[in-house]
């Protein structure tokens, strides 16, 4: 089962990572100024992860594949790691769809 890990960055901002059952990070957030907003971001991921249209598939300048998960308002709520192949990226999207809705939330010190 997946889990969201909430941590505080060195600059004081809050960030979450969604990890798959194997511990691999499959989605990372931007920095949030408050923990409350970070937790709202997690709720948004849980809600939007089931809609394939919310996944924006991209190719970076170095040819690697990644995706952004967007909220209903079009704002990016999470970004994946870089994948060598488009099929790897699709597997990452499926993993987010599978893990996000029931993922627990854990605070990392």
Domain extent for 56 = 3-107
Q: State the DSSP code for 61.
A: T
46-105 pLDDT tens trace: 999 999 999 999 999 999 999 999 999 999 999 999 999 999 999 999 999 999 999 999
Q: Give the SS3 label for residue 32.
A: strand
Nearest to 31 by CA among 62, 77, 66, 72: 77
Query: Whole-model pTM?
Result: 0.94
Number of compact structural domains in the chain: 1
CATH of the domain at 84: 2.30.29.80
């Amino acid at each position: 089962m997946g889990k969201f890990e909430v941590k505080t960055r060195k600059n004081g901002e809050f960030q979450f990572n969604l990890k798959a059952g194997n511990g691999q990070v499959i989605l990372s957030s931007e920095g949030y100024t408050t923990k409350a907003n970070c937790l709202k971001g997690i709720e948004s991921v849980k809600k939007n992860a089931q809609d394939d249209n919310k996944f924006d598939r991209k190719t970076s300048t170095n040819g690697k594949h990644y995706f952004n998960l967007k909220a209903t308002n079009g704002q990016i709520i999470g970004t994946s790691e870089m994948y060598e192949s488009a099929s790897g990226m699709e597997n990452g999207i499926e993993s987010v769809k599978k893990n996000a809705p029931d993922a627990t939330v854990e605070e990392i010190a």
